[in-house]
Amino acid sequence: MWLGLVSTLICYGICKKLYQRFHYVVLNPVLTCLAVLIAFLSLAHVSYHTYFASGKWLTDMLSPATVALAIPLYRNVHILKAHWLEFLVSLVSGAAAAIVSSILLARLMRLGGMIETSVAPRSVTTPIAMDISQTIGGIPTLTAVFVIITGISGVVIGPLVIRYVRIRSAIAKGAIFGMGCHGIGTARAFEMGQMEGTCSSLSMVIAAFITLALAPSLVPLLT
Amino acid sequence: MQRLTWIRKKTVAIAVIILQIAVLYGLADLGGLISKLLHTPVPGSIFGLIILFLLLQFRVLRLDWIARGGDLLIREMLLFFVPSSVGIMTYGHLMLHEGLQILVTIVCSTAIVMLITGTMADNIWKARQLRRPRRTAHEDAKEVASW
């Protein structure tokens, strides 16, 4: 009954400590926690259904966590006012690029229609991505998985992009992480600095809004 | 004696955080209700976010009434992703057969998104920087509210 909740909490706690100690990308707490939990569940022959019975209490916390994103938005609304043009243009083009490139690349890889739709909202934060997936006819669980893969690959790709394209401003660095890989990227952006992290959390919220507005009209055009 | 006051303080702090999270939960539910009533595809949590922002902006709610719980939720957001991601195990055969293609799709697409977003934001920033009076990185850093 409590298995899902307790095993997740313990596992996450240990994995987080491990990451804070060593700071390797491959030790990203979500990635390691996922690997250990899946190994544990399959070795112990526990079905996902049983695990999720109490595991879903944690998932339920995603909606108040999304509501809480109003707090960084409120605290930093002055940054938004000063740099609204940077955020608006880069995030609208980023969100459009995310939807279009995901669908087209999925088709190029011959992944099939269901995956094409489920992969489209992958670059926004999980609760909203799952809702968008539902709306446009994808599979929300599959989308949740794609969101996580996006987050972890973004943490690796982001610093490379910043270095090779010579991104200077903290705003652009934040936008890269917030748009490219949502919450997982925002955690990484805060490692770079306060301004980067703050811009990333702003970008993450705005990217969610823009994707929400774009996806229902853009996806049917492409699939 | 000192230990007792420490325990009491800790208990109060935890109770405050739980209460604040309950408020956020209530706002999310309220948002869900609005989303249902309006028949929109916009998820309830987004309505909740907008409501909370307006309540803060118009000073109906004070930031310190929800900040501790809210900051905790945001800080530990990664944890809340875990249970639904474990769902990947029910797609085992899909990941076995098409996992590599999926990975390539996502990695390439993420790189494209980041390139476009980054260059757009950086170029506009540079262009506007030239027109504005000179600012230093130090001044930019001062803009950030304390976390």
A 10 A CB-CB count for A17 gives 11
Q: Which residue in the block uniquely carries the two structure tokens 């991601």?
A: B85
Does residue B21 or residue A66 have the better pLDDT? Answer: B21
Contact (CB<8Å) A142/B106: no
Residue of chain A minimizing CA distance to B92: A38
A 10 A CB-CB count for A137 gives 13
Residue of chain B minimizing CA distance to A171: B121
The candidate with the shortest Cα–Cα distance to A168, out of B103, B139, B137, is: B137
Residue of chain A minimizing CA distance to B101: A109
The span from the CA of A150 to the CA of A145, in Å, is 9
Which residues of B are less than 8 Å from A77 in CB distance? 57
Domain limits, chain B: 1-75, 87-147
Does residue B46 or residue B54 have the better pLDDT? Answer: B54
The span from the CA of A39 to the CA of B89, in Å, is 10
Longest CA–CA span in chain B (Å) reads: 63
Task: Identify from B21, B102, B107, B113 which residue to disrupt to test chain A contact, counting A C-beta atoms within 10 A and taking the largest count.
Answer: B113
Which residues of A are less than 8 Å from B127 in CB distance? none
The candidate with the shortest Cα–Cα distance to A162, out of A126, A132, A200, A127, is: A200
**Mean pLDDT of the region B45-62:** 92
A 10 A CB-CB count for A41 gives 19
Q: Identity (one letter) of the amino acid at A27? A: L
Q: How confident is the model at residue B134 (pLDDT cuts 50, 70, 90)?
A: low
Would you state the pLDDT for residue B147? 43
**Mean pLDDT of the region A128-141:** 88
Q: Is the pLDDT of residue A156 over 70?
A: yes
Cβ atoms of residues A190 and A102 within 8 Å = no
Q: Does A163 touch chain B (CB under 8 A)?
A: no
Q: Tell me, what's the ipTM?
A: 0.88
Q: Does B101 touch chain A (CB under 8 A)?
A: yes
Would you state the pLDDT for residue B139? 59
> Which B residues, 23 through 62, put their C-beta within 8 Å of a C-beta on chain A?
24-25, 27-28, 31-32, 41-46, 48-50, 52-53, 56-57
The span from the CA of A182 to the CA of A123, in Å, is 7
Q: What is the pLDDT of residues B80-110, one digit of tens each?
A: 888 888 888 888 888 888 889 999 999 999 9
Task: Identify from A67, A123, A200 which residue to disrupt to test chain B contact, counting B C-beta atoms within 10 A and taking the largest count.
Answer: A67
Instruction: Give whole-number Cα distances, A144 to A112, A121, B120, in Å.
Output: 18, 10, 28
Cβ atoms of residues B103 and A149 within 8 Å = yes
The span from the CA of A149 to the CA of B102, in Å, is 9
Contact (CB<8Å) A51/B86: yes
Q: How confident is the model at residue B38 (pLDDT cuts 50, 70, 90)?
A: very high
Q: What are phi and psi of B42, to 5 degrees?
A: -70, 120
Q: Average pLDDT, whole number, for chain A? A: 90
Cβ atoms of residues A204 and B113 within 8 Å = no
Cβ atoms of residues A41 and B4 within 8 Å = no
Contact (CB<8Å) A37/B74: no
The span from the CA of A12 to the CA of A16, in Å, is 6
> What is the token pair recorded at B83?
């249970």
The span from the CA of B61 to the CA of B14, in Å, is 20
Q: How confident is the model at residue B135 (pLDDT cuts 50, 70, 90)?
A: low
> Which A residues, 200 through 219, put their C-beta within 8 Å of a C-beta on chain B?
201, 205, 208-209, 212, 216
The span from the CA of A122 to the CA of A133, in Å, is 9
Q: Is the pLDDT of residue A223 over 80?
A: no
Contact (CB<8Å) A94/B144: no
Residue B106 is nearest to which of A87, A122, A209, comparing CB atoms? A122
Contact (CB<8Å) A179/B113: yes
Q: Does A188 touch chain B (CB under 8 A)?
A: no
> What is the token pair recorded at B33?
């209700």
CA A28 vs. chain centroid, Å, equals: 13
* Alpha-carbon gap: A221 to the closest alpha carbon of chain B (Å): 18
Mutual orientation of helices B77-86 and A3-22 as an angle, nearest 10°? Answer: 120
* Alpha-carbon gap: A168 to the closest alpha carbon of chain B (Å): 7
Residue B115 is nearest to which of A78, A145, A161, comparing CB atoms? A161
Burial A167-205 (b: 16+ CB within 10 A, else e): bebbbbbbbbbbbbbbbbbbbbbbebbbbbbbbbbbbbb
* DSSP for A8-32, written as a single string: HHHHHHHHHHHHHHH--GGG-HHHH
The candidate with the shortest Cα–Cα distance to A185, out of A158, A149, A166, A145, is: A158
Contact (CB<8Å) A38/B140: no
Q: What is the pLDDT of residues A163-213, one digit of tens each?
A: 999 999 999 999 999 999 888 888 889 888 888 988 998 999 899 989 999
The span from the CA of A180 to the CA of A159, in Å, is 12
> What is the token pair recorded at A87?
């955020």
Residue of chain B minimizing CA distance to A119: B106
